[in-house]
Structure 1
Amino acid sequence: MNTVKLEECFVGESILNYEDLLEMLDDELREPKQFWEDFYEDRTKNIPFFKVKGPDENLVEYFSEGLSPKKVLELGAGPGRNSIYMAKQGSSVSAIDLSNKAIEWAKERADEEGLNLDFHCVSLFNFEFEPNSYDFIYDCGMFHHLAPHRRLTYLEIIKKALKKGGYFGIVCFNTDGALDIPDWDVYKEKSLKGGIGYSEERLKEIFNKDFDILNFRKMKKPSLSDDLFGEDFLWTSLMQIKS
């Protein structure tokens, strides 16, 4: 049977260390947990990835071209489309999401397929993992909801979690999908405006230091008959951690 672990983060009122500072800034900028519970409350909403049960088209491309990770971590797994696909390809998959309702939906789908995935309802920043244990980490839609102060932590977690030579895949807003908000303006306006849209240059600048970028392109929009997800207002990229 699939396992679900529920973990909560309680934010204090005193800033006594660096993590307290990050959590204070999170409280100012990040969509709260209840936002995501409400987001997943109605499964019939007109949300592009609610309409498709299949995986991201770029993820299928990676696997068809030889990616075959044994152990995978998916960030912001939502209803489980990609986690279930990777499990069907033979990967051992751990999937995390901040929303209980998203995890419940993903678990239902996995049970329907007779698949055993390791689900965690937890923030990435509170997720406990064995260092250097994942062959592949995949993020479809979490990164563009991160405030700038969390990017460094995000990168450190990914680097710590990946095995030597491990792969990282990302799907995030391009500038057709959301505003390209300068970092300082996020704090001046106290808002992510629904998510940050990244230019190609800006996104590569963030990852180039630590990763070799193997594939970078706009997502393709498949035909409805393909049962794959794809929207051209999103970037897709496959990277490999540098030695």
Structure 2
Amino acid sequence: MERHVSSIEDVFALMDDLFAEEADRWTAKGAGWWDRFYEDRDRGVPFFRDAPDESLIAWHGAGLLPTGGRALDLGCGPGRNAIWLAQHGFTVDAVDLSPAALVWGRERAEVAGVDVRFVEASIFELGPDFADYDLVYDSGCFHHLPPHRRVSYRWLLERALKPGGAFGLVCFAWDAMGAQTPDADFYREGRLSGGVAYRDADLRRLFDWLAEIELRRMEPHGAESPLFGEDFLWAGLFRRLSSTVPAATS
């Protein structure tokens, strides 16, 4: 047996292995769980609808988003937000682990008549060309990460988000959806219980190196609405300042 841990990434990979039954939800070891999740397109999953986030549309309407440029959609699923961004002047890279989700996204993009670069990958294994984005958007990816991967996530944002760029986040809200479990208990149990819930104070602390533009609960929208919104989710918009000092990396 080799003593193989010699870097921070080795430590993270070792900690990923503690979640043996769930690690394929955020690593490149396999996308089987997400493929099974997306294979039945007719299931009543709210975000299966071809409807962009209401918060994204609200921020755009209020002039809080960049006016075009490059956008990176993390955990894009079937592409509902990526396609909307492409329709509104962005050059979009949309990343997801699931081939089934990306096939669906490409079909939707073709119907919509827009060009989106769909990329099958773990968000933590993106190459150096995934950088200098005007907008990084995450609707539902962050809350599926174990605690140690919040560090990897910050490193990703530091590489991907250009000074002055915007970061939009949608994730589970405490007392509404997701596991309200102390971080250490996730490792004792070896599972994330469907996703991690966050308080507003948690998000402000985790992203305190960015300037907060807005953090609120999403406005609910029913199945007939052209927009997606559920009040068990946070919607947060942040901006990277040019004076931001990056954290230490591996």
Give the structure 2 partner of residue 38 of structure 1: 36
* Bigger shift: residues 144-153 or 225-234: 225-234
CA distance in 1, matches of 2:32, 2:200: 32
| 1:122–1:13 Cα change, 3 Å | farther
SS at match of 2:186: helix
| Residue 162 of structure 1, CA deviation | 1.0
Tell me the TM-score normalised to structure 2 length.
Answer: 0.87
Is the CA contact (8 Å cut-off) linking 1:131 and 1:162 kept in structure 2?
no
Give the structure 2 partner of residue 235 of structure 1: 234
Within-5 A mapping of 1:42-121: 42-50=40-48, 52-66=49-63, 67=65, 68-121=67-120
| Residue 69 of structure 1, CA deviation | 3.3
Give the structure 1 partner of residue 192 of structure 2: 192
Please, which runs of 5 or more residues in structure 1 have no aligned partner? 1-11
CA distance in 2, matches of 1:13, 1:194: 32
| 1:34–1:223 Cα change, 3 Å | closer
CA distance in 2, matches of 1:173, 1:124: 19
Give the structure 2 partner of residue 17 of structure 1: 7
SS at match of 2:154: helix
**Is 2:192 the counterpart of 1:226?**
no
CA distance in 2, matches of 1:13, 1:198: 35
Tell me the TM-score normalised to structure 1 length.
Answer: 0.90
CA distance in 1, matches of 2:116, 2:36: 24
CA distance in 2, matches of 1:75, 1:168: 11
Report the residue type matching 1:199 in the other structure.
R
Is the CA contact (8 Å cut-off) linking 1:219 and 1:231 kept in structure 2?
yes
CA distance in 1, matches of 2:92, 2:186: 34
CA distance in 1, matches of 2:3, 2:18: 13
SS at match of 1:107: helix
CA distance in 2, matches of 1:160, 1:72: 13
| Residue 27 of structure 1, CA deviation | 2.8
CA distance in 2, matches of 1:184, 1:56: 32
Matching residue within 19, 28, 31 for 2:18: 28
Give the structure 2 partner of residue 129 of structure 1: 128
Identity score, percent: 40
CA distance in 1, matches of 2:41, 2:130: 35
CA distance in 2, matches of 1:183, 1:194: 14
Is the CA contact (8 Å cut-off) linking 1:180 and 1:199 kept in structure 2?
no
| 1:132–1:78 Cα change, 3 Å | closer
| Residue 223 of structure 1, CA deviation | 4.1
CA distance in 2, matches of 1:72, 1:241: 14
Is the CA contact (8 Å cut-off) linking 1:37 and 1:100 kept in structure 2?
yes
Is the CA contact (8 Å cut-off) linking 2:46 and 2:223 kept in structure 1?
no
**Is 2:205 the counterpart of 1:205?**
yes
SS at match of 1:148: coil
State the Cα deviation string for residues 195-222 of structure 1 (Å, max 9, x = none). Answer: 00111111211111x1111001000012
Q: After the TM superposition, which parts of structure 1 deviate over 6 Å for at least 4 consecutive aligned residues?
A: none
Please, which runs of 5 or more residues in structure 2 have no aligned partner? 25-30, 244-250
| Residue 131 of structure 1, CA deviation | 6.3
Give the structure 2 partner of residue 214 of structure 1: 213
Alpha-carbon RMSD: 1.7
